[in-house]
Structure 1
Amino acid sequence: MAQWWRSAGGHLGTVAASRGSSSFRGCRNFHTIQAIPRECSGSRISARDRMQNRIPAVVFFQNLLEKVPEARSSSKKHLLTVEKKQIKAILTSPEAPFFCSTRFPLQIRAGSGSSHLLDSGSVLPIKIHRDEETGQILNLVFVWAEDGLKLKVDVPVVFKGEDVCPGIQKGGILNKIRPSLKYLCPSEHIPSKIVVDVSNLDIEDRIFMRDIEVHPSLKLLSKNENMPICKINPTIWENKEPVFE
């Protein structure tokens, strides 16, 4: 750890969060999710929707998931279906690679191809349910993400600089300890990802949760911000005594 303080100054400026608002603007013109209501749920109805190339979905306020009943809100909960083709296009789009940490506009129309708008707003996907064998999307869960609402978001961590990292070049291995970090975020400041620059790390160096620079309105939902996000581990052979035959 003797080299940690020397390397810290080289990467903390780039250990930062990509702002969700910019991702939202990029998606606004290309990915307004179109949905139609469904009156009821059930495995047979959902199977029929999938046969019609639609994905069952639901949207509600995130506080509906709270354990305390008084904190829950059931208003604006909608059972929906969305177009399978559109969702697959979004998931493979370079503009929105981090689906569950990106806000999208949502329009709920009276029917497929209808111009009659029933409801609209901004939403955040929080769950993609897939078939374990085929990988087919079974259903989607969204929460309302209007400006001013605070949401709990698992923000993915992305590492860069591995190709020039001194510790890796010496034979070390990047141990990616945390694939995501959970924040309480105002909807308008949800970061699509956390970019962690490891280009200055040597063997045994670490980057901690406390080192991440995010918008000041974000609150890290961790009991211990001193937990490491990543560490450059020495290779196995470096930890063993040499064997002579």
Structure 2
Amino acid sequence: MAQCLRGKAAAAAAAAAGVSAPWRREASASYHHTIQAVPRETSGPRAAARERRHGRVPAVLLTLAGASPGNGVAHRKLLTAERKQLVEMVKQSPYFLSTPVRLQVRAGERSNAVVHSGTVLPIKVHRDESTGHILNLVMVQADEGTMLKVNLPVEFKGESACPGLKKGGFLQKIRTSLVYLCPAEHIPPKIEVDLANLDVGDRVLMHNIPVHPSLKLLSKNETMPVCKILASKPVESETMQDLKS
């Protein structure tokens, strides 16, 4: 009995301290990593507007015809997801469009029956230009072994240690994203470019960025620089000319 009371007291103390019970943390983690959706039977502007009025976001799940994106789309599944959850997921993940997540499709809004589940990759989030509200979501099935074309954000690290920047140089960021063909199980959330050893005049080329060996860079010119360390900040006309070259 004393042990039971101590357990209840500990739980109460944890709640008072703002610490969630383990099952609550687990449920919260699942909520932020699993998109909950239900099927929708109708499409078009009116049907989409009706979904949005009820706090939902029209979504589409694409399934590729084969293991490669070049084979085209074999199936489109119309879904609807909770807007509040999607907003929270996008807020929690700065790499939402390059991070595979779980998808669980229930038979209906009030049903616990799961009709489809699996791993998907969000590839497009359409927003209202004036309000920023999420209007539509497009996902692709990301089963293990599937090759997907992914637009990966480029992040630059090591600026504080960069010799060229310490000398007063300027970091010219030429590319902020790169497209790779990735196995679904090896999609990185981002591509990191290390500046720690770059001096004035140095540059990092696309094909010089270390990535997982299973990733394939999709570019007509793999020798194009992703960034340069310039002696000084260029005038705008020079920057535009360099981007065109």
* TM-score tier (shorter): 0.7 to 0.9
Q: 1:187-233: CA deviations, max 9, x gaps?
A: 00111111111122122210111211111111111122211111112
Q: Structure 2: how far apart are the matches of 1:48 and 1:80?
A: 13
> Could you tell me which residue of structure 1 aligns to residue 77 of structure 2?
78
Q: Does 1:218 align with 2:218?
A: no
For residue 234 of structure 1, report the CA deviation from its aligned partner.
Answer: 2.3
Indicate the SS of the match to 1:100: helix
Structure 1 position 97, deviation (Å): 2.2
Distance 2:161 2:148 in 1: 36
How many pairs are equivalent?
206
Conserved? CA contact 1:171–1:235, under 8 Å: yes
How high is the sequence identity, in percent, across the aligned residues? 54
For CA contacts below 8 A with separation 6 or more, give which structure has more relative contact order.
1
**How far has the Cα of 1:179 moved from its partner?**
0.9
Residues 50-83 of structure 1, C-alpha deviation per residue, up to 9 Å, x if partnerless? 111111110112459x998xx33433x2111111
Aligned-CA RMSD value: 2.2
* From 101, 106, 116, the counterpart of 2:103: 106
Give the secondary structure class of the aligned counterpart of 2:33.
Answer: coil
Match of 1:116 in 2: 113
Whether contact under 8 Å (2:162, 2:197) holds in the other structure is yes
Residues 100 and 142 in structure 2, CA contact (< 8 A), matched pair in contact too: yes
Q: Which amino acid counterpart does residue 54 of structure 2 have in structure 1?
A: Q
1:29 is displaced (CA, Å) by: 7.2
Structure 1 residues 109, 164: CA separation in 2 closer, same or farther (over 3 Å shift)? same
| 1:31/1:104 contact within 8 Å kept | yes
**Which residue does the alignment assign to 1:158?**
155
TM-score by length of 2: 0.78
Q: Return the letter of the residue paired with 2:74.
A: S
Determine if the alignment matches structure 1 residue 58 to structure 2 residue 60. Answer: yes
After TM superposition, the score normalised by the length of structure 1 is 0.78
Larger Rg, first or second structure (1 or 2): 2
Aligned to 2:166: 169
Q: Contact (CA 8 Å) 2:100, 2:120: kept in 1 or not?
A: yes
Equivalent residues of 2:155, 2:191 under 8 A apart: yes
Q: SS at the partner of 2:74?
A: coil
Equivalent residue in structure 2 for 1:186, among 174, 183, 188:
183
User: How far apart, CA to CA, are the structure 2 residues paired with 1:54 and 1:215?
Assistant: 37
* 2:138 is equivalent to residue 136 of structure 1: no
**Contact 1:62-1:151 at 8 Å conserved across structures:** no
Q: 1:228 to 1:236 in 2, by over 3 A?
A: closer
How far apart, in 2, do the equivalents of 1:227 and 1:109 lie? 46
Moved over 3 A (4+): 27-30
Q: Distance in 1 between matches of 2:155 and 2:119?
A: 25
Structure 1 residue 171: Cα displacement:
2.3
Pick closer, same or farther for the CA change 1:28–1:194 going to 2, 3 Å.
farther
More helix by share: 2
Amino acid at match of 1:128: V
